[in-house]
Structure 1
């Protein structure tokens, strides 16, 4: 029996260009996203399956992205709190 070290063999699939990001990008393009939007969604923590469900329910891709976009990825506004 040989000793193996799982930590040394771990692959981060969320690395840019990694298999998960590539799949997420391709999936978003297949759902109608342009390359820029697909890349933004793919590199975020948004759930691609939630976006798919919203599209099936009749949302536009842009609305589905707005709904599922993680808070830290949300666009900043110039408005000041009152």
Structure 2
């Protein structure tokens, strides 16, 4: 059952990425996700979660640093909105 669900999700992602209409839908989804992530309430909750991990989990600071490094690396590899690769 899980495999079928994953397959259907893959088809949906393929549709979104593979069609011009899907690309527009993807951009709307990506923009909305970015707006949600940058919302001050979400950032406060993320900060509270980070603080809780640092306080309560052994080596929490090292985990937080690793996550921060991975996030920075991922952001460096993402194209800014509006830039398109030449096809």
TM-score for both structures, normalised by structure 1: 0.31
TM-score for both structures, normalised by structure 2: 0.30
Greater fraction of residues in helix:
2
By relative contact order (CA 8 Å, sep 6+), the higher-ranking structure is 1
